[in-house]
């Protein structure tokens, strides 16, 4: 029974991967129909775009971490800033 479950799971994973690859192939069909040189330029532009996007996300993440470190200290829910952390 366990072997059948594993086999079914692997078959489902292969099916999902093949569906994904088919979708990607269809999306890139117009690009792949271009002549070699324009296709290479398009692919290089895509790589540069993804590298730039990754750098943007990394930089934003670094800034958010810096902002989190700059916070004076942790605040607990329900604490009043006037009472030094004591609830009234």
Structure tokens at 41: 């330029």
The predicted-structure confidence for 4-45, as pLDDT tens digits, reads as follows 999 999 999 999 999 999 999 999 999 999 999 999 999 999
Please indicate, yes or no, if residue 56 is contained in any of the structural domains.
yes
Please indicate, yes or no, if residue 21 is contained in any of the structural domains.
no
Q: What's the rounded Cα separation, in Å, for the pair 22 and 20?
A: 5
Please indicate, yes or no, if residue 14 is contained in any of the structural domains.
no
pTM, to two decimals: 0.51
**Which position has the token pair 């604490």?**
79
Please indicate, yes or no, if residue 43 is contained in any of the structural domains.
yes
Please indicate, yes or no, if residue 2 is contained in any of the structural domains.
no
- pLDDT higher than 70, residue 74: no
Number of domains in the chain: 1
Please indicate, yes or no, if residue 39 is contained in any of the structural domains.
yes
Please indicate, yes or no, if residue 1 is contained in any of the structural domains.
no
- Range of the structural domain that residue 54 is part of: 35-69
Q: What's the rounded Cα separation, in Å, for the pair 22 and 16?
A: 10
Within its chain, how far is the Cα of 34 from the centroid?
29
Please indicate, yes or no, if residue 42 is contained in any of the structural domains.
yes
Q: What's the rounded Cα separation, in Å, for the pair 75 and 18?
A: 49
The predicted-structure confidence for 46-67, as pLDDT tens digits, reads as follows 999 999 999 999 999 999 999 8
């Amino acid at each position: 029974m366990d072997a059948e479950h594993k086999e079914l799971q692997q078959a489902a994973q292969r099916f999902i991967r093949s569906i994904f690859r088919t979708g990607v192939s269809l999306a890139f069909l117009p690009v792949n129909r271009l002549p070699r040189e324009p296709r290479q330029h398009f692919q290089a532009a895509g790589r540069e775009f993804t590298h730039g996007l990754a750098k943007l996300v990394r930089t934003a993440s670094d800034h958010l971490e810096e902002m989190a470190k700059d916070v004076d200290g942790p605040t607990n829910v329900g604490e009043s800033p006037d009472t030094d952390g004591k609830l009234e």
